[in-house]
Amino acid sequence: MILIALSWIILLLFFIPCGIAVKSLLKLKSSGNYIPIFLGLFIQCLGLSICSFFFKIGLEVFIANFLISVVITYWKSKEIKESVKEILFDLRALSTTSKCSLLSIFIFSLFKCSQFPFIVDNESYYLQTIKWINEYGLVKGLGNLHIYFGQTSPFHILQAGFNFNFLTERSNDINGLILNLSSLYFITEFEKRYKINGEIHWIGFILIFNILFFQFISSPSPDLLIFILSQILFYYFMDKEDSLENYKIATLLFLNLLFIKITIAPLILLLFYKMYKSKKRLYFFLTASAIIGAVLCLKNFIITGYPFYPLQILPINRDWTIPEKLLKFVIHITENSGYSKTSDLKNPTILHKLNSWIQLGGINRIFNFGIILLFAVGLVIKRYKNQTKYIFLYLVLALNFLILLFTSPQYRYFLPEFVFLFVVIFSTIFCCFKGSIKTALYSFLIAIVVPLAFTEIIGYPNLTKNRLHQDKESNSWTQILIPKKNSKYAEIAFEKVTEGNLDFNSPKENFFFYGTANGELPCVNKVQVDYLKKKYNFIPQLRTSDLADGFYSKNTAENE
């Protein structure tokens, strides 16, 4: 826990100077004290992604990044000092209850981050993609080695830049810092709005979702940043002054979301809604979008051969381009996993899919029924039903949900809609019963502490059928200083397997069809390789004798 707290301080030494520099260059005078930190995170993510085209993201890049940050800190030392002072002033100005809430979040998040990662995707491709970036940078055709490596996110590149891989294999905890920063932002905005106009605003009620957010912070999941930044984007759209400065911030927030996960793309309509008011807005949007789009497409092209991956639009024919059959296999799995936990639907109709989706059990059923109910209630909220911006935002969220519903309605994909509609409805009900500010703040504290305190006695089998998510964590006092390793399967044994010209490491225990844990590169489960060889006649192969030159998929049927 102590080492994790120290790593967060180091991260702030990078994010704050970069954010202040962006704030200065874009003349964002009214951005507040916390938005620049998120912008600094975004710029670091973008910069490291560009570096990964040319270099491995290891010690050398970290040192260069550190030196650049030192220069920026010296250049903007006055603004940085002022910003830190204002943040400390905000903290002192908070109520005692809010301070207790933030302290609870801080302690619990340190404890959670010191545990083994909870999200199963950590064991299939999070760890491995980060490891490839650390040791080689972006590698051509990496998606041919493991079908999920094509999903390498810029967030994983960001994590590779700050996981201190040259010192330890126990640090992938940026999400913990993001949760603490966002909680501070939400509660500060909530109290400030109340002091200004006596408003009990919905933004503070986001804190009651921390029990859900906590499940994502012990692993380098891109999803948490999506949940957090989407709420800030909605807040800027709904409640911030309609100015050029705020439009720039909203644009950067959206582009950060899009950079991390393409499923958020329909939210671009929120920017279009306010773009027409100024040519400067259009020019800023086009310029920023062109930069982000170029980097994202190039990243996708290098890893998969498809610039708009996972879409098959405009594929570029290179020897490392993932074969269409394998790409369709990945898409099929992703789509069906939202409808059926076994992903075994055979040519289903849309009605069959929706029927399967609504009948999913455990936590899926809670969110699936919940989102339908929230959209139904959200349509008739008296507090907002006459507000044009709310109606437009509601329609955009409904459109995004419908797209997901007919493609891959995994509940984590529509959590931005779920969280927003829930807090808007809940805050409205709270105000109808004339709840006071003290009651709200105490409610936040209880909603944070009680669920987290009883996390260890929650029966996970009642919430999920996934056996990989049902294991209970065993804790030890050593976690106070040293966190556990980045994989819950850190002790699993691996074996060397040869397939054609490729020697790869495979877990001896087939704990998960896509599982690789933290095996040495190159690593892929031999069960997966054998399955794709038998079903589709493709095996991963080295392009040259050098791992850095990447992989291609060889059609074994051509040799028969």
DSSP string, 392-451: HHHHHHHHHHHHHHTT---TTTSHHHHHHHHHHHHHHHHHHTT--HHHHHHHHHHHHHHH
The pLDDT profile of the chain, 560 residues, written as one tens digit per residue, is 899 999 999 999 999 999 999 999 999 987 788 999 999 999 999 999 999 999 999 999 999 999 999 999 999 999 999 999 999 999 999 999 999 999 999 999 998 898 888 888 999 999 999 999 999 999 999 999 999 999 999 999 999 999 999 988 888 899 999 999 999 999 999 999 999 988 899 999 999 999 899 889 989 999 999 999 999 999 999 999 889 999 999 999 999 999 999 889 999 999 999 888 789 999 999 999 999 999 999 999 999 999 999 888 888 889 999 999 999 888 888 777 777 765 555 666 778 888 888 888 788 889 999 999 999 999 888 777 778 999 999 999 999 999 999 888 888 899 999 999 999 999 999 998 888 999 999 999 999 888 777 765 555 555 555 555 555 556 666 777 788 888 989 889 999 999 999 999 999 988 888 899 999 999 999 999 999 999 999 999 999 999 999 999 999 886 55
What sign for the dihedral angle of Cα 331, 335, 341, 342? negative
Number of domains in the chain: 2
Residue 522 resides in a domain: yes
The strand pair at 538-542 and 551-555 is best described as: antiparallel
Q: Which amino acid is at 406?
A: F
- What pLDDT, on a 0 to 100 scale, did the predictor assign at position 168? 87
Tell me how far CA of residue 173 lies from CA of 6, 162, 216, in angstroms: 11, 9, 10
Distance from C-alpha of 557 to C-alpha of 560, rounded to nearest angstrom:
5
Tell me how far CA of residue 31 lies from CA of 19, 40, 53, 197, 311, in angstroms: 10, 13, 32, 20, 35
Distance from C-alpha of 479 to C-alpha of 477, rounded to nearest angstrom:
5
Residue span of the structural domain in which 512 resides: 494-559
- What pLDDT, on a 0 to 100 scale, did the predictor assign at position 65? 96
Distance from C-alpha of 336 to C-alpha of 406, rounded to nearest angstrom:
10
The strand pair at 502-507 and 494-499 is best described as: antiparallel
Domain boundary among 261, 282, 313: 313
At a CB cut-off of 8 Å and minimum separation 6, what does 335 contact?
Answer: 407, 408
Residue 414 resides in a domain: no
- What pLDDT, on a 0 to 100 scale, did the predictor assign at position 377? 94
Per this entry, what is the length of the chain? 560
Residue 133 CB coordination number (10 Å): 30
Residue 345 resides in a domain: no
Q: What is the 3-state secondary structure (H, E, C) of 374-393?
A: HHHHHCCCCCCCCCHHHHHH
DSSP string, 279-348: HHHHHHHHHHHHHHHHHHHHHHHHHHS-TTTTS-SS----TTSPPHHHHHHHHHHHHHHTT-TT----S-
Residue 483 resides in a domain: no
Domain boundary among 313, 337, 364: 313
Give the helix/strand (H/E) hosting 533: helix 526-536
Distance from C-alpha of 335 to C-alpha of 333, rounded to nearest angstrom:
6
- What pLDDT, on a 0 to 100 scale, did the predictor assign at position 326? 93
Q: Which of 475, 481, 451 is nearest to 101 (CA)?
A: 451
Question: Collapsing DSSP states into helix, strand and coil, what is residue 554?
Answer: strand
- What pLDDT, on a 0 to 100 scale, did the predictor assign at position 275? 87
Q: Which of 508, 559, 512, 513 is nearest to 538 (CA)?
A: 559
Domain boundary among 260, 285, 313: 313
Residue 420 resides in a domain: no
Distance from C-alpha of 69 to C-alpha of 44, rounded to nearest angstrom:
10
What dihedral angle (degrees, nearest 10) is formed by the CA atoms of 395, 374, 264, 127?
180
- What pLDDT, on a 0 to 100 scale, did the predictor assign at position 477? 66
- What pLDDT, on a 0 to 100 scale, did the predictor assign at position 458? 59
Residue 203 resides in a domain: yes
Q: Which of 360, 388, 384, 389 is nearest to 372 (CA)?
A: 360
At a CB cut-off of 8 Å and minimum separation 6, what does 226 contact?
Answer: 257, 260, 261, 264, 415, 416
Dihedral-angle region of residue 539 (phi above 0 means left; psi in -120 to 50 means alpha; beta otherwise): beta
Burial class, 351, CB count within 10 angstroms (exposed 0-12 / middle 13-18 / buried 19+): exposed
Q: Which of 217, 219, 183, 220 is nearest to 203 (CA)?
A: 183
Residue 371 resides in a domain: no
Question: Collapsing DSSP states into helix, strand and coil, what is residue 23?
Answer: helix
Paired tokens of 527? 């069960």
Q: Let me know the angle formed at the C-alpha of 38 by 37 and 44, rounded to the nearest 5 degrees.
A: 90
Residue 553 resides in a domain: yes
Give CA 498 to chain center in angstroms.
Answer: 35
CB-CB contact of 263 with 299 (8 Å): no
Residue 29 CB coordination number (10 Å): 9
